[in-house]
Structure 1
Amino acid sequence: MSKRILQCRRSLSGATALTVSLLFGALAPGVASAADPVEKLQEFALDEVSVTDAYYQNISSKELAYIMSLDPNRLLAGFKAVSQGKDPGNASGLNLYGGWEGGWSLLRGHTIGHYMSAMARAYKQLKSSDAEQSAAIAQKLDYTISQLKSFQDASPKGYLFASPETHFDVVEGKASGSSWAPWYTMHKIIAGLIDVHEFEGNATALEIASRLGDWTYNRSSTWNADLRRKVLGVEYGGMNDCLYDLYRLTNNANHLAAAHIFDEDSLFTPISQGTNVLPGKHANTQIPKFIGALNRYRTLGETENFYYTAAEKFWTIVLRDHTYVTGGNSQLEHFHEPGKLDAQRDNVNNETCNSYNMLKLSRGLFKATGDVKYADYYEQTQINEIMSAVNPTNGMTTYFKPMGTGFFKVFGKPQDTFWCCNGTGMENYTKLNDSLYFHGDTDLYVNMFLSSTLTWTARGLSLKQTSNSPLSDKAVFEITAAPADAVTIKFRKPSWVASCQPVTITVNGQACDATEADGYLTVGRTWEPGDKVELTLPMEVKVSRLPDNPNAVAFVYGPVVLSAGLGTERMLSEPQWASEKATIPAGVVIKDTIGINNGMTISEWIADIENNLVQTPGKAEFTLRNTDSDSTLKFTPHYQRYEDRYGIYFRLTGTAGETIPDVDGCTPPPGTGKLCDSVSSSETGGATGSGATGSGATGSGATGSGATGSGATGSGATGSGATGGGSGGSSGGAGGADDGATDQGSSGCSCSLGRASSGRWQLAALFGLGLVAWRRGRRRAAPQRSRRFVAR
C-alpha cells in the first residue's frame, strides 16, 4: 500500500490542548486518522497461517499446555486484593504464585498481561482448526476479563493493578516506600487487554483498557517537564506503544495525548541523528521506546517521520554496535561500549526480552518499508535467539543466553520464577506463524522458509510450504487453491545464501518467468491447484568474528548458528539478583580455544573453512579439520541445544598470517577469505597465540560494527556468466553489475538467479556479527530496477 497522509485533522481543545502543548510541544498540525496505516505491507490473520514443522509445532504445543496449566485466580490474586483495599506485599492467604508474581515482587501483575496476549493469539490460531481447545482458551480468557472488570469497577478512578497506586506515587517522588517499574507492568496489562479484544473479539477487554487509558491520561497530564523527566527515567516498557494502539481503537484524544507524553524525544533526537548514546543504558528499557516511536509514525502518518527515523536509526545502531551472531544483544541487561563484544561475553548475555522486542521493532519496520534487511534479521534472530530460548520438553524459557564459552541455558520454573522473559516467552511461541508471509495489495511476500500453510482469504490463494532447513537447501511451495486472475509471489532471497553457488527456482520443474529486485525473487502468473515452485537456496559454513577480537569466531550454516556441546559436568546455577545464571564451578575445565595446526595460519584455515568444518552426511552436524579439536568438538544447530554446556564462540590460536587472495574465480570483498561472505580479515601481521590479531582487522568505514571490513566496497564480483565493475563483493548473492550478464533462464528447465543490479546492495555489518554481508541498501522511496534471469 502506498504511503499517504490522510487529510483528516484532529485537534485537542481547552485545558487538554493547553497542558499538552505547554509541557510537551503541540501535536503535529496534520494528524492522520487512526484507521489509516502507512505500512507498505500487511500481515496475515493468525488463523490464515499454520506452522507444520514438527519441531516448531512441539514447542508451540508445549508452551500452550504450560499456559493452560496456570490458574488465572492465582495470577489475579494481587488485583483482587488491591480492589479490596489490601496490599498484596504484606497481606496473607492470597495464594499468589512465586517468583516475580510473589508477595515480595514489585512487578507483580506483569504476567497476566503476557498471559492474555499469548492466550488471545492461541485462540485466534485455533478457532477454525481445533474447536475444543479454542473453546477452553476462550473460557479462561472470558473469566479473566470478567474478573478484571469487577476489580476495576471497585475503583472510582478506573485503577486496575496488582499493587497499590502508591507504587506510582513513589516513582513520582510523592510518597516514600518501595517501587520498581510500575509503568512497565501497566504496559503489559493494557497490551494484553488490547490483544484479547483484537484476537478474541472481547468488547469488555477494550472497555477495561480504555478506562486504564483514561486513568493514565488523568495522571500523566498533570506532570510538569521536570516530573515527566523523572518518571521517564524509570523503566516504563512500551507505554507509548500500547497507548497508540489504544487510540487507534478508541479515537479518544486523551489516549493519543497520553501516548505522546511517554515519547522520550530527548532520547529519540540524538539517535535519529545517528549518535549512539546507548552505552550504559538498560537495553530492554530502550527498545520498547522505539517500538512506540514507530507506532506514532504508523498511527499519525508521515508528518511524524522524525519518529520513524529514530526507530530506524536505533535499529541500525543496535545491530551495528551491540549484536552477537545469534541476533541477541546486551550483557547483564545493558548496552556497553560499541563493538566491545568479546570483552563482554559471559554468562549473562542476550536477555530474551531484548530479542522479543527487537523482532517486534523489525517487524514493524518491515511492514512500513518493505526493506528486506528487516526480514533477514527477523529470520536470524527468530531461529537463533527465540527458538534457542525454550526447553522443547516442557516449554520453559530462559532469561539469559550466554555467549561465554562453557556456560549453559538456565530455564525458568513453572510456578516459581515468572521472570519477564518467561512472560515474553509465553507470547513468543504462540505467534510463531505471524511473520512467515506478508502481502501488499496484490503481491504475496514469502519471508521465511519453514514448513507451513497459508490461506490468503481475500485473494483466494492457498499454498503449502515444505522445508527442512538446515538438512535441505530446498523449499517447495504447492498451490492448493488459486483465483482466476494472476498473483505475484515474491520469495525472499536470504542474505545467507552461499556466495558462489546459484540460487535456482523452478515452476513445475520448468523454466520460470522470474525477476529479482530488492532482495526478492518474483514469479507472477495465473496459478492452478497443484502447481509447484521449488527454490534451491545453497548453504555454506561461514565464519563470524567479533570486532574487538577477530580471532574470536562463531560458525554459521545457512541461517543457523552452530554450537559445540561441552558436557554436563556440574551444571549449577546461582542467583542473579531476581533471576538465575549459569556457572562454571572451580574444577570444571572448559577449553575455549581451537588451535590451528598442520602448518596452516589462521587466515589460511578460515579461508578454506569449507574443508575445515565439514558436515556429516545426512546430519546437521559439523566436525573440525586441521585443528587440535578435530575429535572433540561437534557443532550442531544451537537452537536445538538445551541440556548441556556449549560454546558458540571459540578463540582461534596460531599464526595469524596474510590475507588470502581471490581464488576459484569468485572475487570476495576486501578482508574476506577464499569464500565470498565467509569471513572478515584476520589479518596481516605474524601475531601468535590465543586471540592473536593483526593490522587488517578492520576495513575502511567500519566503526565498532562487529563486521570486519564493514563499509568497504567490493571490487566487482565475477560470477558465472556475469562480469562487471559494480560496487560490492559477492555476499549473499550480491555483486556484479548487469552489464555482461548472461541469461541462463532460457535453458527451459530452471532460472538461476543471483547477483543484484550494480549498486543495489551495499557492504554493511549485519547484526554486528562479523559476517560481511551486503545490506540491501535501497532508499525507501526509490525502488530498484529489476531484471530477469541474471546468472550468478
Structure 2
Amino acid sequence: MYSKPISVLYNNKHSRKLLAIMLLANIGFITPVFSQSAVKPAVDDSQLPAQSAQLNGYLGMKLDAAYQNRILAQDDNRLVAPFRNRTEDHLWQTEFWGKWFTSAVQAYSYLPEKRLGTVLDKTVPLLLNTQTPDGYIGNYADKNRLEQWDIWGQKYTLLGLLAYYDLKHDMQTLKAARRMADYLINELALRKALIVQQGNYYGMAATSILKPVVMLYARTNEKKYLDFAEEIVRQWELPVGPQLITKANVDVGKRFPFPASDEWPKQGQKAYEMMSCYDGLLDLYRLTGKETYKTAVEKTWQHIQDHEINITGSGSASECWYEGKALQQFVTKHANETCVTVTWLTLSAQLLQLTGKAQYADAIERSYYNALLGATTPDGSNWGMYTPAMGIRSLGSNQCGMGLNCCVANGPRGLFTIPPLAVMSKKNGLAVNFFADGIYKIKTSDKEIATLIQQTDYPVSGKVIMQLQLPAAKEFAVSIRIPVWSAHTSLMVNGQPVTVDKAGDYVSITRKWTSGDKVELVLDMSGRIERIEGQPAYLAILRGPLVLARDLRMAGHVDIDETITPVLTKEGTVPMDVIKQGVQSNAWIAVTIPCLVGSWRLGEDAKPVNLTFCNFSSAGSTFSPDSRYRIWFPQMVGANWGG
C-alpha cells in the first residue's frame, strides 16, 4: 500500500513548506486561457483547477520520475539550436522546445524546485535572442516560411512563451509573443495567402495556432488577435478547409476520402491536429459565447468517444481516425499514438473544466491509467510513440535529428494534467474528480482556502478516505464522481451513509462542513468483461479503471496467445485475487483469475486454471520481446454448440 496516514501527510514538515510556497505563489497548473486575462470571458467554467496539489503513492512516483528523468534531463540548448539556424524547408524541429517547455512549466507549477526554475529562466532568453527584426521565431529558411510545419512550430513556441508569461508576468516575453503573432498576421496579408492552405492536413496543423492567438487576445485585449482567430475559423469552412464546424455531425473517420500514400499531407482524418484545433475553438467559445463553437466540439468529442476511442482510452491507426473502436481487437499499424492520447486528455480536460460533466472525467481516467501510463518507461525517462493492444511496445525513432520525437516531448504534458483536475473548485463548493493519495488546496467561493486530503491506494483497492481541513465551519457542496463502472458504491460522511443514486455522475453532499469531517468512499472493484461480437468473438477483462493484460513474463505454462475464457461468478463478475504489489515482474497491480484454457483440453485438463494478469500500463514495460502482451482474447468458435 503506497498511501501514508493522513496525519503524516498533513503534518510532514516538507509537505507543509512546499504547500505554503505554492499557495503564496498562487501558481496554476494548466495554462487556462484567462489566467492573466485582460478580457472578461463571456462564459465561465463550471470547475476551476486546484490552487495546489501534492500526489503521493504510485501516481506521485510517476510524476516525480518524469520530472527528474525526462523534463530536467532535457538539453534545452539542443532544442533552441534550430531556431538559430533557420535553414529548414519541411521538418518540425521547433515543436520540441514548445512541448518540452510547456511540460516543464506544468511540472514547476506542480513542484516549484529551484533547479527547474533556473532552467526555465535560462532557456527563455536563449529563445528570444533568436527572434528576427520582423518578429519571426522559427527555423525555416526565408523562402520557405509558412510552409509545411512552420506555423505548427510557431504555435508551440507561442504556447511556451505564454506559459512563461503566466508564470513570471514577464512583459518582455509577452512582447516577443505579440511580435511573433503580428509577423504571422502581416505575412499572410502580404502574400494574400489563406492560413488554411499553409502546411498539411487541410490546414489543421497550421490553423491549430488558434489556441495561442486566443490566449494573446485574452491577455492583451487587442482586437486584431480576436479578428485573426475568427478569420481562422471562417477559413475552416471553405472548400479547401477541414470544415470543422459544418462536419461536426459527421463521424471523424468519415469526413474526407482517405488519400493515396504519396498524398499523405492531404489526410483529413489526422487525429492529433484535428483535436488541437477543437481545443483552441473551446477557448474562443469562452471569449465569444458562440454556441456553435461549443456544440461543434461536443459533437465531435462524442463521435470520437463512440467510434474511435478504444478500451485503453486512446485511438488512431497511422495517427488517423479510422472508425477504429470496432477494429481494436486486431493488429493495427501505429496504434494509439501518444500525441493522440495526450491531446484527447487535453480536450477532455477542457470540456470537464467547462461543463463539469462526469463523462469527461470518466474518459480522462481510463485514458490516463491505461494508454498514457502505458506509453512511458518505468523510470519516466522515455516514451513509446505507439501503444498497441497487443505485441511489443517500442520506443519511437529520433525525429528531425533532434534526439527525441514528438511523443517523447509531449508525453509529460499529459502526465501533469491530473494534479490540478483531481479536486477542483466550483461556484458552490468543490468537486472530487479523481482519486489519488495526496493533499489538495482549493479556493472556496469566499476566497478562503480549503484543504482536502485523500488517503487511498486506489485503484489497488476501491477505498478512498477524504478529510477536510477548513479555516472555519462553512456550508457548501462536496461533489464526488462515481465512476461509470462502479455498480455498487458505498459512501459515508462521518460514519453516516449517503445515498448513491447511479454511477457515471456526481453525488453532491451539501451540509455545514467543519474541519476534520471525513468522507469514506468504497467503489466496486469487481472484475468485468467487455466483449466484441463476431466470428470469433473477443473479450477483455477490466478491474476498476484498469484494463488487464497477460504478459509473457508472468504467463507460466499457458501461452499468452492461448484461447482463454474467465469463469464468472453467479453475479456475472470476474473473480480475481490481487497479488502483493511488485511480486510479478515489476507490475503495479497483478491478479489471478480462474480461466478455462484452450480448445483441445478434455476431462481433467478442462478444469479452470489460475492465470496471472497485470494492469495494461505495466504490461510490455521492458519494451522488448520478453514482455510481449495482449489484452483481447479470441473466443472459441462453436463453444456454445454442445458436444
TM-score scaled by length of structure 2? 0.79
Distance change (3 Å), C-alpha of 1:412 and 1:540:
farther
Matched letter for residue 129 of structure 2: S
Alignment partner, residue 458 of structure 2:
469
Alignment partner, residue 640 of structure 1:
618
Matched letter for residue 452 of structure 1: G
> Is 2:178 the partner of 1:236?
no
How is 1:284-683 mapped onto 2 (pairs within 5 angstroms)? 284-301=272-289, 304-337=290-323, 339-342=325-328, 345-346=331-332, 348-403=334-389, 405-410=390-395, 417-457=403-443, 458-498=447-487, 501=488, 503-512=489-498, 519-546=505-532, 551-567=537-553, 592-596=561-565, 613-616=575-578, 620-628=589-597, 631=609, 633-641=611-619, 642-643=621-622, 644-655=627-638, 657=640
Post-superposition offset of 1:219: 2.3
Post-superposition offset of 1:88: 6.5
Given that 1:379 and 1:448 are in contact with CA atoms closer than 8 Å, whether structure 2 keeps it comes out as yes
Distance change (3 Å), C-alpha of 1:610 and 1:242:
same
> Distance between the aligned counterparts of 1:460 and 1:515, measured in 2?
30
Alignment partner, residue 54 of structure 2:
50
Structure with greater helix share of residues: 2
> Distance between the aligned counterparts of 1:253 and 1:243, measured in 2?
11
Alignment partner, residue 715 of structure 1:
none
Deviations 1:348-395 (A, max 9, x none): 210011111111111111222222111111111111121221112243
Matched letter for residue 639 of structure 1: S
Aligned to 1:526, what secondary structure does the other structure show? Answer: strand
User: Structure 2 residue aligned with 1:283, among 267, 271, 278?
Assistant: 271
Given that 1:407 and 1:645 are in contact with CA atoms closer than 8 Å, whether structure 2 keeps it comes out as yes
Given that 2:536 and 2:637 are in contact with CA atoms closer than 8 Å, whether structure 1 keeps it comes out as no
Given that 1:272 and 1:306 are in contact with CA atoms closer than 8 Å, whether structure 2 keeps it comes out as no
Post-superposition offset of 1:402: 0.9
How is 1:142-181 mapped onto 2 (pairs within 5 angstroms)? 142-152=121-131, 155-169=132-146, 171=147, 180-181=148-149
Distance change (3 Å), C-alpha of 1:489 and 1:515:
farther
Post-superposition offset of 1:514: 8.1
Post-superposition offset of 1:106: 1.2
Alignment partner, residue 7 of structure 2:
none
Aligned to 2:563, what secondary structure does the other structure show? Answer: strand
Matched letter for residue 594 of structure 2: R
Given that 1:333 and 1:350 are in contact with CA atoms closer than 8 Å, whether structure 2 keeps it comes out as yes
TM-score scaled by length of structure 1? 0.65
Matched letter for residue 107 of structure 1: W
> Distance between the aligned counterparts of 1:412 and 1:61, measured in 2?
25
> Distance between the aligned counterparts of 2:377 and 2:477, measured in 1?
39
> Distance between the aligned counterparts of 1:534 and 1:275, measured in 2?
41
> Distance between the aligned counterparts of 1:287 and 1:522, measured in 2?
31
Given that 1:453 and 1:465 are in contact with CA atoms closer than 8 Å, whether structure 2 keeps it comes out as yes
> Distance between the aligned counterparts of 1:275 and 1:639, measured in 2?
29
Alignment partner, residue 72 of structure 2:
68
Alignment partner, residue 186 of structure 1:
154
Distance change (3 Å), C-alpha of 1:592 and 1:259:
farther
> Distance between the aligned counterparts of 2:189 and 2:171, measured in 1?
27
Distance change (3 Å), C-alpha of 1:409 and 1:610:
farther
Matched letter for residue 62 of structure 1: A
Distance change (3 Å), C-alpha of 1:228 and 1:628:
closer
How is 1:79-228 mapped onto 2 (pairs within 5 angstroms)? 79-82=83-86, 87=87, 106-127=91-112, 133=113, 135-152=114-131, 155-169=132-146, 171=147, 180-222=148-190, 228=196
Alignment partner, residue 21 of structure 2:
none
Post-superposition offset of 1:407: 2.4
Matched letter for residue 269 of structure 1: I
Matched letter for residue 43 of structure 1: L
Aligned to 2:135, what secondary structure does the other structure show? Answer: coil
Aligned to 2:525, what secondary structure does the other structure show? Answer: coil
Given that 1:322 and 1:341 are in contact with CA atoms closer than 8 Å, whether structure 2 keeps it comes out as no
How is 1:701-716 mapped onto 2 (pairs within 5 angstroms)? none
Query: For the aligned residues, what is the CA RMSD?
Result: 3.2
Matched letter for residue 613 of structure 2: F
How is 1:750-765 mapped onto 2 (pairs within 5 angstroms)? none
> Distance between the aligned counterparts of 1:320 and 1:548, measured in 2?
19
Post-superposition offset of 1:311: 0.6
> Distance between the aligned counterparts of 1:148 and 1:611, measured in 2?
56
> Distance between the aligned counterparts of 2:309 and 2:377, measured in 1?
23
Stretches of structure 1 lacking an aligned partner (at least 5 in a row): 1-31, 90-104, 128-132, 172-179, 570-588, 597-601, 658-685, 689-792
> Is 2:62 the partner of 1:77?
no
Distance change (3 Å), C-alpha of 1:639 and 1:275:
closer
Distance change (3 Å), C-alpha of 1:561 and 1:111:
same
Stretches of structure 2 lacking an aligned partner (at least 5 in a row): 1-36, 259-268, 582-588, 599-607
Deviations 1:49-93 (A, max 9, x none): 22122x2222222212232222322221121233xxxx278xxxx
Post-superposition offset of 1:437: 1.6
> Is 2:41 the partner of 1:41?
no
Deviations 1:427-453 (A, max 9, x none): 223443021122222220000011121
Post-superposition offset of 1:625: 2.8
Given that 1:564 and 1:647 are in contact with CA atoms closer than 8 Å, whether structure 2 keeps it comes out as yes
Given that 2:462 and 2:522 are in contact with CA atoms closer than 8 Å, whether structure 1 keeps it comes out as yes
Aligned to 1:625, what secondary structure does the other structure show? Answer: strand
Given that 2:473 and 2:515 are in contact with CA atoms closer than 8 Å, whether structure 1 keeps it comes out as no
Distance change (3 Å), C-alpha of 1:68 and 1:591:
closer
> Distance between the aligned counterparts of 1:380 and 1:566, measured in 2?
24
Given that 2:59 and 2:436 are in contact with CA atoms closer than 8 Å, whether structure 1 keeps it comes out as no
> Distance between the aligned counterparts of 1:528 and 1:337, measured in 2?
50
Aligned to 1:121, what secondary structure does the other structure show? Answer: helix
Matched letter for residue 284 of structure 1: Y
> Distance between the aligned counterparts of 2:366 and 2:299, measured in 1?
20
Given that 2:80 and 2:97 are in contact with CA atoms closer than 8 Å, whether structure 1 keeps it comes out as yes
Matched letter for residue 651 of structure 1: P
Given that 2:315 and 2:341 are in contact with CA atoms closer than 8 Å, whether structure 1 keeps it comes out as yes
> Distance between the aligned counterparts of 1:635 and 1:516, measured in 2?
29
Determine what percentage of the aligned residue pairs are the same residue. 23
> Distance between the aligned counterparts of 1:468 and 1:286, measured in 2?
36
Given that 2:483 and 2:503 are in contact with CA atoms closer than 8 Å, whether structure 1 keeps it comes out as no
Post-superposition offset of 1:559: 0.8
Post-superposition offset of 1:622: 3.0
Alignment partner, residue 580 of structure 1:
none
Moved more, 429-438 or 463-472: 429-438
Deviations 1:213-267 (A, max 9, x none): 1112112345658774455624337211221112111122222222233332352
Matched letter for residue 326 of structure 1: T
Deviations 1:705-740 (A, max 9, x none): xxxxxxxxxxxxxxxxxxxxxxxxxxxxxxxxxxxx
Aligned to 2:145, what secondary structure does the other structure show? Answer: helix
Distance change (3 Å), C-alpha of 1:543 and 1:144:
same
